[in-house]
Amino acid sequence: MFFEPKPKSFRPVAHYALAMAVCVLTTAATLPLRSLLDLANIVMLFLLTVFLVATRLGRGPAVMAAFLSVALFDFFFVPPHLSFDVADVQYLVTFAVMLAVGLFTAHLASRLGERTEQALQSARETQDLYEVACEMAGALSLDQVSDTARRFLAGHDIDASILIAAGDGKLNMPVNGDHRLGSIEHSFAQSAYRRNEIVEADSLAGTGIAVAFFPLRAPNSVRGILAITPRTDDTTMLRASRQAIEAIASLVALAIERLHYAEAARRADLQIADERLRTSILSSLSHDLRTPLTTLVGLADSLAQMPPGHTADTAETAAIIRDQARAMYRLISNLLDMARLKGEKTPLRCEWQTFEEIVGSSLRLMTAAMGSRPVALDLPMNLPLLYFDAVLMERVLVNLLENAIKYSPDGTPIELAAHIEADALRVSVCNAGVGFPPDSLDQIFEMFVRGRDESNLPGVGLGLAICKAIVTAHGGDIRAKNRPGGCCVCFTLPLGTPPPIEEDAT
């Protein structure tokens, strides 16, 4: 029942024959009563016949029946019998009225029939569309949507292909279609999509290629193209089905849009869950690693403070344990930081502040590691306020200072310089070490890459990778370079437009 091709509603020759037979039958049935019935009543019987023919068999047979009835009435019933001659001229009026009433009845009755037929068909169409809509609302994939649409249009003797718009303004090949579109069809489809208009090429009907291209207009965008290929070369058929095709196109568009958003929502959900899992793993990992190390540092430090009854040697051993535990803590922190920074988005807590302040706090954190090394600071007075995340920027400086100390001989100076260059602050941290291997100046910012493979200095090669992640997140860049008698790591921090400062009273 669903999407069945509709039976052909008229088979003309049979209907005319049937109409003729009915008229003859009426004549045959009435003849024996010729002596009993008045002629006026016999006219009525013929009119009834015409009426029945009109309601059952349509307009053409009814018109024929009207003429035939007049002829039969004249021949068999009007004296003289078995002749078309008319004895009394007044019967001509009877014939005229009979013909007129017959024709008029035929017209009215057949029009009523057509209306009924139309109403039934449109009810069927509505029912079909309703079922299509229900099926599409429940569709879980583009294939299902495409199948439903194609099955419906097959009922109209039409083959259809659905082309889905890709993100880049191109159309993908048909979903699940058995009809491969040729290049002409594809360019028609492209043009319909680009202009968001229906494109028709009636002259190609019957050649087996698609002749009409309907944009799939959804509320938010055009989702693709519905390409229509009639199975016959009858273009009137296509025109008759146009409303149905447009209805189907909008249903398909809505279904595609719904699937699109469902997919986007599912992906967003997944991403949130992913991020949440990651954060919770990181925080529980960092908690579980931090607790034993805190205990270790604290207990070793208690021993290193030389409680009564301990020798200087024990205290020194305890101090080494403490320092190593701290070093391990730093390594773990680096790993966790890197994992955090490599997350989908690094949340920056940026504020307008002075760069000088971060230099001061970084140097204070490095006091112990710096020992007696001289620090050459080159920091101009009155640098503008910069917009950055203080905690992360301090990490960058601490990591760079740590590296500079680690990879240069004891007692040699560490340089920290900053100056404005074009639209950025350029900061460099330099040492008097042997420098980076010249062929790997860029790679040292990758994770787990170290300057010297043979090095037995501690570190897992994350320090510079973290610096790069932080600097990049701030919109700057970071580079390493060798120079005579040492090497430098330089990074930039973009200047912005700092908020104004209103001076107060003196």
Partner 1 sequence: MSDAATAVLVVEDEPQIRRFVCNALRDDQCQALEAGTATGGLEIVAREPVHLVILDLGLPDRDGISFIRDLRNWSAVPILVLSARSAEQDKIEALDTGADDYLTKPFGVGELRARVRALLRRQQQRVDAGAVHVFGDVAVDLSRRIVTRAGAEVHLTQREYHLLAVMVANTGRVMTQRYLMNQVWGPGHSQDSHYLRVYVGRLRQKLEADPTQPHYILTETGIGYRFQP
Q: Which of 29, 173, 281, 377 binds partner 1 (CB under 8 A)?
A: 377
Q: Which is nearer to partner 1, 216 or 418 (CB)?
A: 418
Q: Which is nearer to partner 1, 158 or 404 (CB)?
A: 404
Minimum CB–partner distance for residue 394 and partner 1 (Å): 5
Kindly state whether residue 8 participates in binding partner 1, applying the rule CB under 8 A: no
Q: Which is nearer to partner 1, 253 or 493 (CB)?
A: 493
- Give the bridge partners for 217, in sequence order: 222
Please enumerate in sequence order all residues whose Cβ is within 8 A of that of 323, keeping only pairs 6 or more positions apart, or say none: none
23 close to 72: Cβ distance less than 8 angstroms: yes
What does the block give as tokens for 485? 């008698």
- Give the bridge partners for 229, in sequence order: 159
Name which of 467, 423, 429, 427 is nearest 445 in CA terms: 467
One character per residue 350-369, x = contact with partner 1 (rule: CB under 8 A): -xxxx-xxxxxx-xx-----
Kindly state whether residue 314 participates in binding partner 1, applying the rule CB under 8 A: no
Kindly state whether residue 415 participates in binding partner 1, applying the rule CB under 8 A: no
One character per residue 256-295, x = contact with partner 1 (rule: CB under 8 A): ------------------------------xx--xxxxxx
Q: Which of 168, 344, 454, 504 binds partner 1 (CB under 8 A)?
A: 504
Instruction: Report the C-alpha gap between 102 and 108 in whole angstroms.
Output: 10
If you search the block for the tokens 């043979």, which residue do you land on? Answer: 454
Minimum CB–partner distance for residue 503 and partner 1 (Å): 8
CA distance from start to end of the chain: 93
Q: Which is nearer to partner 1, 353 or 412 (CB)?
A: 353
Of 26-34, 94-102, 248-256, 336-344, the segment contacting partner 1 by CB under 8 A is: 336-344
Of 84-92, 162-170, 321-329, 480-488, the segment contacting partner 1 by CB under 8 A is: 321-329
Q: Which is nearer to partner 1, 144 or 353 (CB)?
A: 353
Using DSSP's 3-state secondary structure scheme, residue 157 falls into coil
Instruction: Report the C-alpha gap between 394 and 372 in whole angstroms.
Output: 22
Pairing of strands 478-483, 486-494: antiparallel
181 close to 163: Cβ distance less than 8 angstroms: yes
Kindly state whether residue 346 participates in binding partner 1, applying the rule CB under 8 A: no
Please enumerate in sequence order all residues whose Cβ is within 8 A of that of 442, keeping only pairs 6 or more positions apart, or say none: 480
Q: Which is nearer to partner 1, 324 or 443 (CB)?
A: 324
Instruction: Report the C-alpha gap between 359 and 416 in whole angstroms.
Output: 9
What does the block give as tokens for 316? 């020194």
Kindly state whether residue 219 participates in binding partner 1, applying the rule CB under 8 A: no
Going along 404-445, which residue ranges are E strands? 414-421, 424-431
Q: Which is nearer to partner 1, 9 or 305 (CB)?
A: 305
Minimum CB–partner distance for residue 409 and partner 1 (Å): 24
Name which of 447, 445, 427 is nearest 488 in CA terms: 427
Instruction: Report the C-alpha gap between 392 and 386 in whole angstroms.
Output: 14
Q: Which of 172, 271, 302, 455 binds partner 1 (CB under 8 A)?
A: 302
Minimum CB–partner distance for residue 321 and partner 1 (Å): 12
Using DSSP's 3-state secondary structure scheme, residue 21 falls into helix
Q: Which is nearer to partner 1, 65 or 470 (CB)?
A: 470
Q: Which is nearer to partner 1, 116 or 294 (CB)?
A: 294
If you search the block for the tokens 């193209």, which residue do you land on? Answer: 225
- Point out which residues bind partner 1 (CB under 8 A): 286-287, 290-299, 301-302, 305, 307, 322, 325-326, 329, 333, 336-337, 340, 349, 351-354, 356-361, 363-364, 377, 379, 385, 390-391, 394, 498-499, 501, 504-506
